[in-house]
Structure 1
Amino acid sequence: MTLAHNVFVRVTLRNGAYGIGEMAPFPEISGEDQAGSLRVFPLAAKVCLGQSVTHFRKVAKQLREVAWQTPAVRCGIETALLDALCRGMGIPLWGLWGGADVRRRETDVTLPIGPRDQVVDTARAWYARGFRIFKMKIGLEVDEDIRRIEAVCAACPHSKFVLDANEGFSLEQASECMKAMERLRLPVMLFEQPVAREDVEGFVALRRSGTIPLAADESVRSVEDARQLIERQAVDVLNLKITKCGVVESMDIAGMARASGLRLMIGGMVESRVAMGCSWSLVLGLGGFEFLDLDMPLLLAGDPVQGGYAYEGPVLQLWGGSGLGMELREEASSVIVVE
């Protein structure tokens, strides 16, 4: 993807408080694109009119009923509602959820699949900026994947790795990759989505045979998905993304994971600091997130907002403003008004 077709949402409450959100549809995950999001948005937005923002869980349930196939729409509206609520209350968004773990945290940075020398050069550039956790995309060819990981490991001492296959392997290939990583003692923290979304039994078999923790991403897009993975003891970690589940449903999945003893990761799609700021707020407010994959704004050509949280190298900073603490830099080029 070279261009993000995202949509910003603004919600204004009767008391004048307002909030912003972001719809960041990602067809490869949910089948949702910008055109589909915009078709559903007016219907979803009308669900919110006249309702109390303090009843955001009730509103989120109604949004899921009308926009269950478009989670990016739910994410954008829910983020804007929660931002508006917190601005009206004069508290940061993470404060709404209790501020369970309010501290600066380190994110990984993503290395895409590419020629080995090119990936190593990219890794060295991020390493020079202080990054020590690399999320490496793999899943095309096991031997080349392993050689690429070894090359980055050699070029960037004391680094750790999250390996993300994005459903690219068969069970046999994933098992081969796992065994190679164990044999070479590569510093791998997680093996993310090694097999197809629906291959829960593949996860189960791989987890029983290997020692590297497994994380589900594409396989967990709803509370129902999370419940199935938990019941089958298929994974060690759930990767939550508000754009694929909505904000409130992501909160519910996080609660299920903690209650079941699973570890938590949080990531994002191709999102600006608006959606990512909401995810960062969940980390600060709910607590319990061990793995952070919140690097996407660093990979974008521009930043459409000002204010809010910031990055210092790989470290996400706190902010002092209410809500997300952000403002859009420019007026929208086109507007859909629902009132």
Structure 2
Amino acid sequence: MRIEKIELFAIRLPLKVPFIVSYHRYDDMPSVIVKLTTECGHVGYGEAVADEHVTGESLDSTISVIRHVLGPLLIGENPMQMERIHDVMDRAIRDVPAAKAALDIACHDVVGKKLGLPVYDLLGGRYHDAFPVTHVLSIGEPEAMAAEAREQIEQGYTAVKMKVGVDVASDVRRVEAVRRAVGPNVPIRVDVNQGWVNAAKTLQAMQQLEPFHIDWVEQPVKADDFEGMVEVKGKISVPLMIDEGVRGMTEMRRLTMMQAAHKVNIKLMKCGGIYPAKKLVHMAEMSGIECQIGSMVESSVASSAGFHVAFSSKIVQSVELTGPLRFAEDIGNLMYDLPFIRLSDEPGLGVDVDEAVLSRLTTATYVIGGVDHVAQ
């Protein structure tokens, strides 16, 4: 089996409501969809959701890298040979994990379809039967976040994750309002997205948050500040999760050596796809660091890919892949059984891509291994 053609679709996924985190407001979600076709006619889909603030990539740079660097190199390669696929990509260009993730995911999808197996069976087999889905609250006024949290818990969600990171005082008011709204027993996770900057502000915030009994706090300091994470971890009683600080194996090795967090949020867009994500999971497991598979707010395609990693990994104890639930329109049909997610046993990613919706959301297309063109 050889890769014959790679098609790229630049799309913008419409959000039901804007998604706001400490460093950016998203009114829609730019995404690059990869359609990979083999010489025997099998088709696999992948996706890249780039984030300048996390991986240094943009929609345009991702398209350019796949179109001019990575895509042409993979034409003629066997998508089953994942170690070689990643070696070819890594030798060609450093970093650009979202671009590599799109191709990696498409390769896994097409191999699963070729073999008639779900992707999780390519990764060691299914371990988990289901995961609870956490509702994610983007940053807003305390009363609005509290009302949304109460509504979602009434609809069946069992936990909420709060985006914060504006400033300590207002963030404490947000958490207090949500805790009052959902009661004492609903788990609340707090994701700062680096917004508290350093250990001093984080410790100040955590002292004020003690009465509200949060489940864990995620990435409160700047991504590269592992020393700050170590200081925070040693002085708080709440579990600490690292996210933006771990992109690939270099950072994971640093995390495990320094024991800088209790938990790590692994995202396919940060590390380069399914294959490297499993490597990171194994590294974390060796050091007893619990894993979560997270999201950059992707469509059904990349969200499903993340779920396959999670469902095949014992050390993964939570997931946050809720992109499809946030979109007014999605290109795929990943099904949630709220408040849970359960994967099917369909081959590949188990997601059908609606070509009509994909065409409607597409702003530009490119073909590698055929005639290159742009569609307005």
**TM-score category, normalised to shorter length:** over 0.9
**Candidates 52, 60, 77, aligned match of 1:27:** 52
**Candidates 328, 343, 368, aligned match of 1:338:** 368
What is the TM-score when the length of structure 2 is the normalising length? 0.86
Q: Distance in 2 between matches of 1:314 and 1:37?
A: 33
**Candidates 307, 310, 317, aligned match of 1:283:** 310
| Alignment partner, residue 190 of structure 1 | 216
Q: Distance in 2 between matches of 1:319 and 1:79?
A: 17
**1:48 partnered with 2:71:** no
**Candidates 9, 16, 33, aligned match of 2:41:** 16
Alignment of 1:109-120 (within 5 A): 109-120=135-146
Q: Distance in 1 between matches of 2:284 and 2:111?
A: 27
| Alignment partner, residue 292 of structure 1 | 319
TM superposition shift of 1:314: 2.4
| Alignment partner, residue 160 of structure 1 | 187
Assess if the C-alpha contact under 8 Å between 1:99 and 1:287 holds in 2.
no
Assess if the C-alpha contact under 8 Å between 1:264 and 1:289 holds in 2.
yes
What is the TM-score when the length of structure 1 is the normalising length? 0.95
Assess if the C-alpha contact under 8 Å between 1:103 and 1:284 holds in 2.
yes
**1:150 partnered with 2:176:** yes
Q: Distance in 2 between matches of 1:115 and 1:225?
A: 34
Q: Distance in 1 between matches of 2:264 and 2:153?
A: 27
CA separation of 1:68/1:314 partners in 2, compared to 1, >3 Å: closer, same or farther?
Answer: farther
TM superposition shift of 1:110: 1.1
| Alignment partner, residue 234 of structure 1 | 260
**Candidates 98, 106, 111, aligned match of 1:72:** 98
What runs of 5+ residues in structure 2 fail to find an aligned partner? Answer: 1-25, 370-376
Assess if the C-alpha contact under 8 Å between 1:26 and 1:270 holds in 2.
no
**1:257 partnered with 2:263:** no
Q: Distance in 1 between matches of 2:342 and 2:288?
A: 28
Q: Distance in 1 between matches of 2:351 and 2:338?
A: 20
| Alignment partner, residue 208 of structure 2 | 180
**Candidates 235, 248, 258, aligned match of 1:222:** 248
TM superposition shift of 1:115: 0.8
**Candidates 315, 322, 325, aligned match of 2:347:** 322
CA separation of 1:56/1:112 partners in 2, compared to 1, >3 Å: closer, same or farther?
Answer: same
Assess if the C-alpha contact under 8 Å between 1:96 and 1:285 holds in 2.
no
TM superposition shift of 1:64: 2.5
Assess if the C-alpha contact under 8 Å between 1:93 and 1:323 holds in 2.
yes
When structure 1 is superposed on structure 2, of 45-54 and 325-334 the one drifting more is 325-334
The 3-state SS of whatever aligns with 1:3 is strand
**1:130 partnered with 2:160:** no
TM superposition shift of 1:19: 0.6
TM superposition shift of 1:139: 1.6
- Superposed CA deviations along residues 292-335 of structure 1, whole A, max 9, x for unmatched, are 111122112211113xx411222112213111122221253442
Amino acid in structure 2 at the alignment position of 1:28: H
The answer to which structure has the higher strand fraction is 2
| Alignment partner, residue 211 of structure 1 | 237
| Alignment partner, residue 101 of structure 1 | 127
- Superposed CA deviations along residues 170-214 of structure 1, whole A, max 9, x for unmatched, are 2111001222233x1x33221100100111111111111111111
Q: Distance in 2 between matches of 1:34 and 1:94?
A: 28
When structure 1 is superposed on structure 2, of 323-332 and 90-99 the one drifting more is 323-332
Assess if the C-alpha contact under 8 Å between 1:192 and 1:216 holds in 2.
yes
Amino acid in structure 1 at the alignment position of 2:301: V
TM superposition shift of 1:6: 0.6
